[in-house]
Amino acid sequence: MKRTIALLLVILMAAALVGCRKTLKSDADFIRKAREVMPIENADRAVMQYAGCIRGSSTAALHWVVSGDEHENHTYLPMACERVGPAWKYTYSRSYQAIICMKDVAMLEWDGRVVFCINNTDVRGMRWTDADGTEHYNSYEQIPYSAYPFLREYDAGCTAFTFLDAEGSELLTVTVSD
């Protein structure tokens, strides 16, 4: 009887350990996970930078990691994660393929929003149009170059986004279709 209980306890503990998923809680943890899932050659040695997080509905979050340096093309990896417990710890759910809008700007439609990862220091502002045709503008002039890459999120009902340079000239307009 004691052996049966001991064996049952060992089986339960092993099942609990198999079901545990490593939690991600720091920039280094997200970069480590990106090295595992990023579809690039030599991901284990690539220069990588944590770009930030967009919180979604309930416990969902979208964490971005960017690979490459100033001499390489960048790869953008958005990773969907779920928050675990009351602390800001996450478990990895899946990664997505971001759309490259222009040099060093990636986009993903996620959780009812359009999320941009901006790593192009020429982009100093954006103008966007809501579904009802209302235009909005914001400037990134206060963001220091050391803060690149950074994330911006907009309502998925927006129909067009225009990237602007420091003088307010258009760099590119992206139209989002339903």
Q: What is the DSSP string of 123-174?
A: --EEEEE-TTS-EEEEE-TTS-GGG-SEEEEEETT--EEEEE-TTS-EEEEE
- Decide if 6 is inside a domain: no
Q: Domain for residue 123, yes or no?
A: yes
* Residue 80 pLDDT class (50, 70, 90 cuts): very high
pLDDT of residue 166: 92
How much is the pLDDT for 1? 56
Any idea what the CATH number is for the domain that residue 29 is in? 3.10.450
* Share of residues in the chain with pLDDT > 90 (%): 59
Q: CB within 8 A of 170, min separation 6: which ones? A: 162, 163, 164
Q: Are 126 and 120 in contact (CB under 8 A)?
A: no
Whether residue 50 is found in the same domain as residue 77: yes
**Quick check: 29 pLDDT over 50?**
yes
Each residue's pLDDT tens digit, 89-120: 999 999 999 999 999 999 999 998 999 999 99
Q: Judge if 111 and 175 occupy the same domain.
A: yes
86 lies in the same domain as 143: no
Strand, coil or helix: what is 11? Answer: helix
Question: Are the beta carbons of 110 and 102 closer than 8 angstroms?
Answer: no
Last residue of a domain, one of 59, 77, 97: 97
Residues 113 and 86 reside in one and the same domain: no
In a domain, 104, yes or no: yes
**Boundary residue ending a domain (97, 123, 145):** 97
111: domain CATH number is 2.60.40
pLDDT tier at 12, thresholds 50, 70, 90: very low
**Band of the pLDDT at 132, cuts 50, 70, 90?**
confident
Structural domains of the chain, count: 2
Of 74, 85, 170, 61, nearest in space to 119 by CA: 74
Domain membership flag for residue 4: no
Torsion of CA 49, 37, 102, 147, to 10 degrees: -20
Mean pLDDT in the chain?
85
Residues 56-82 have a mean pLDDT of: 90
Residue 12 lies in a domain: no
171-177 long-range Cβ contacts below 8 angstroms, 24+ apart? 171/102, 171/122, 171/123, 172/101, 172/102, 172/105, 174/101, 174/107, 176/109, 176/114
Q: Check whether 10 has a pLDDT greater than 50.
A: no
Alpha helices in 20-158, H assignment, sequence order: 27-37
Q: What confidence score (pLDDT) does residue 3 get?
A: 57
Tell me what pLDDT residue 64 has: 97
Domain span at residue 63?
21-97
Q: What are phi and psi of 44, to 5 degrees?
A: -70, -20
pLDDT of residue 4 exceeding 80? no
Q: Is the pLDDT of residue 18 over 60?
A: no
Tell me if 126 is assigned to some domain.
yes
* Mean of pLDDT values over 10-20: 40
pLDDT digits (tens, 9 = 90+) for 157-177: 888 999 999 999 999 999 886
pLDDT of residue 121: 92
pTM for this predicted structure? 0.83
